[in-house]
């Protein structure tokens, strides 16, 4: 059974809400102040970096065993990919098709979205492609992060199937993609994937490797790690040209590392359980907020509210409620049904994971 890290689950919530706040400030800028798309709280985007580091950590921890035969490795890799697709795709497809329905029914609501069948198909298949509005992003724009997630899952599954060291294999593949992307500028998928942010998954894998192979660190050290992450993420005004991996990526790694080290303390805190539940709902929060944020901002504007210090907290509260509803009534039942329908137990001969 995979060890549960309450602190990491709570950090999922933090990451999701950082993105929500960023988009809430952008919605206020567009619909209330009239300043346009370019005025918003940029640092909220760092929530994505936290998500990517967490993803690398969780994938490495949940696949810590190696397998004796090539058949067992192939089965394990296929099982891994099925589980990841089941976790990511259904809710994303639902939200994407909901977006399509709204665009067809109420085209005036969208600020910068339009439909093109080829682009929609690529979006549903997690293939980066040039959108009708000129950016390499899917029909549901927040899904750009899921394209990176699917790339990581595919590469990680190949490492499992091959029985290769996870860190070295993923690093080699990502470096190859990165170099190819610099050389072949005409390929939209390569241009998309050849970004430093893709290496942030490996930071999470490295944290898992350290946890599995080295002696535990005193929990109090986690406070220092999280403090360093907060300073790097929010205390320094990085230049726009700064490499994201070395700024928010490293900051996110410090925060995940701190959450892992603090686990003995966090797990026993009274507030840990409700916050962990919200962490479970973070994927629903992340996907549903793209509909909730503009709707709530527009509604509050109609009510005469124009103070962002009031609008943004109200938006966040409604997003949390909507995300929990989506998680309880849509994501969890849908995932449970598909898991029962698609999965059967496999008997695999596992051996301890080597270095």
- Which residues pair with residue 130 across a beta bridge? 136
Rounded mean pLDDT of the chain? Answer: 92
Q: What is the pLDDT of residue 217?
A: 92
Closest CA to 59 of 196, 157, 158, 197: 157
Q: What whole-number distance in Å separates Cα of residue 65 and Cα of residue 332?
A: 27
Burial profile 30-44: b = 16 or more Cβ within 10 angstroms, e = fewer: bebeeeeeeebbebb
pLDDT at 4: 83
CA distance 251 to 237: 13
Q: What is the pLDDT of residue 77?
A: 95
Question: For the segment 18-40, what is each residue's pLDDT rounded down to a tens digit?
Answer: 999 999 999 999 999 989 888 89
The reported pLDDT for the residue numbered 248 is 97
Q: If residue 67 lies in a helix (H) or strand (E), which one and from where to where? A: strand 66-67
Q: Give the three-state DSSP class for 136.
A: strand
pLDDT of residue 38: 85
- pLDDT tens for residues 298-317? 999 999 999 999 999 999 99
Distance CA(190)–CA(184), nearest Å, equals 7
pLDDT of residue 262: 96
What is the C-alpha to C-alpha distance for residues 257 and 4, in angstroms, rounded to an integer? Answer: 15
**pTM score:** 0.93
pLDDT attached to residue 292 = 98
Instruction: Name the stretches of the chain with pLDDT < 70.
Output: 1-2, 108-113, 344-355
Q: How far apart are CA 259 and CA 5, in angstroms?
A: 8
pLDDT at residue 112, rounded to an integer? 62
Interatomic CA distance for residues 300 and 320, integer angstroms: 17
């Amino acid at each position: 059974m995979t060890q549960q890290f309450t602190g990491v689950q709570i950090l999922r919530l933090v990451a999701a809400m950082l993105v929500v706040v960023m988009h809430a400030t952008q919605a206020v800028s567009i619909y209330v102040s009239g300043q346009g798309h370019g005025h918003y709280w940029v640092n909220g985007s760092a929530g994505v970096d936290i998500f990517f580091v967490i993803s690398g950590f969780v994938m490495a921890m949940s696949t810590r065993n190696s397998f004796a035969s090539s058949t067992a490795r192939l089965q394990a890799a296929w099982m891994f990919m099925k589980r990841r697709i089941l976790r990511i795709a259904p809710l994303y497809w639902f939200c994407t098709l909901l977006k399509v329905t709204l665009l067809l029914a109420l085209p005036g609501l969208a600020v910068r979205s339009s439909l093109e069948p080829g682009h929609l198909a690529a979006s549903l298949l997690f293939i980066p492609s040039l959108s009708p509005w000129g950016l390499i992003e899917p029909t549901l724009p927040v899904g750009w992060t899921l394209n990176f997630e699917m790339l990581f899952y595919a590469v990680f599954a190949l490492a499992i199937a091959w029985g290769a060291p996870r860190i070295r294999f993923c690093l080699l593949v990502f470096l190859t993609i990165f170099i190819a992307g610099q050389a072949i500028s005409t390929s939209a998928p390569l241009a998309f994937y050849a970004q430093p942010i893709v290496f942030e998954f490996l930071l999470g894998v490295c944290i898992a490797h350290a946890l599995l192979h080295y002696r535990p660190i005193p929990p109090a050290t986690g406070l220092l790690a999280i403090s360093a992450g907060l300073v790097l993420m929010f205390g320094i005004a990085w230049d726009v040209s700064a490499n994201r991996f070395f700024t928010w990526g490293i900051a996110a790694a410090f925060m995940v590392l701190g959450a892992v080290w603090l686990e003995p303390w966090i797990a026993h805190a009274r507030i840990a359980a409700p916050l962990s539940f919200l962490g479970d709902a973070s994927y629903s929060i992340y996907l549903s907020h793209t509909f909730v944020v503009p709707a709530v901002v527009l509604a509050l504007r109609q009510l005469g509210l124009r103070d962002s210090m009031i609008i943004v907290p109200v938006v966040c509260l409604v997003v949390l409620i909507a995300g929990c509803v989506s998680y309880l009534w849509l994501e969890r039942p849908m995932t449970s049904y598909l898991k029962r329908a698609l999965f059967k137990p496999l008997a695999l001969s596992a051996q301890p994971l080597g270095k």
